[in-house]
Amino acid sequence: MDDAAINLDGRVTRILLSYDVSGPLRPKAARVCQIVFGYEQTVQRKGASRTYRHPGYLERPGARWVGQSVLLLRPEDARELERDLGRLGVRARSARIRIRPSEAATFLRVP
């Protein structure tokens, strides 16, 4: 977790963001996963292939996966993700929290 914004009490401000892709938006679920988790794209051109890596929000500093459709993000990343999801018609809800970096580390996603 980035320590740049640790307050005097040893806590950082983070946004707990949840989103829901349901009903008529289900066809967009794969795109939402790409935005959140990232993806690779292989392009074939003139007999050669090249793979491009598109990082997701969870690869950003301080980002944590809490559970299904729930993320812990820096405030600026949460705002940006909320806008990206909104463009797809996906509604997100968020809450500002203050958490110690060691507590946030309990949400590290194990591959």
pLDDT single digits (tens) 68-84: 999 999 999 999 999 99
- Residue 16 in tokens: 């707990």
Indicate whether 70 belongs to any domain: yes
Indicate whether 63 belongs to any domain: yes
Residue among 90, 93, 85 nearest 35 (CA): 85
Indicate whether 3 belongs to any domain: no
Indicate whether 88 belongs to any domain: yes
How many angstroms separate the CA atoms of 17 and 96, rounded?
Answer: 9
The predicted structure's pLDDT at residue 6: 66
pTM of the model: 0.82
Indicate whether 50 belongs to any domain: yes
Indicate whether 4 belongs to any domain: no
- Residue 14 in tokens: 């983070």
Indicate whether 68 belongs to any domain: yes
Number of domains in the chain: 1
The predicted structure's pLDDT at residue 110: 54
What residues of the chain score a pLDDT lower than 50?
A: 1, 3, 111
Listing DSSP states for 35-90 in one string gives HHHEEEEEEEETTEEEEEEEE-GGGSTT-EEEETTEEEE-HHHHHHHHHHHHHTT-
Domain boundaries, position 53: 12-107
Indicate whether 35 belongs to any domain: yes
